[in-house]
Amino acid sequence: MKAAWMRSSMLLAALLSGAASSSVSAQTAGEKLFGQQCAACHAVAADAPMGMGPNLRGIMGRSAGTLAGFPYSNEFKKGLAGKAWTAAQLDAWLEDPQNLAPGTYMMYKQSDAAVRNSIIDYLQTVK
């Protein structure tokens, strides 16, 4: 069930980014994927209330685990200590958070690199 859902969202992403080569359509695909796969736990609006996960506005370049007021797990703080969010770091995180921080509260992983890239492209625009 979950796999079928992920396949259809990937198909949608492929359709959207293939429809035109402008960055606007790529952004729309990533934004959609973010809405489907991340938004239940993560907000990006500046004034959003605290969610299950930290707000991701301005995540690119931010030091991991530094959003004021968010109760990061000790496992997260240990695994990501001293790291900042680059595209490569995010890619590794989304592929399997448990690899970087065993025991982290983030229950998600994404084996499809195209889906990860699309979401990361979107996050670059959320400043």
Report the interface residues with ligand HEC, using CB under 6 A: 37-38, 40-42, 52-54, 56, 59, 64-65, 67, 72-73, 75-76, 85, 90, 93-94, 104-108, 119
Q: Considering beta carbons, is residue 23 or 66 the nearer one to ligand HEC?
A: 66
Query: For residues 17 and 54, which CB has a smaller minimum distance to ligand HEC in the complex?
Result: 54
Q: Contact 101/76 with Cβ under 8 angstroms?
A: yes
Give the up-direction half-sphere exposure of residue 3: CA atoms within 13 A in the CB hemisphere.
1
Which CB sits closer to ligand HEC, 21 or 55? 55
CA distances from 25 to 17, 29, 30, 74 (A): 6, 6, 9, 38
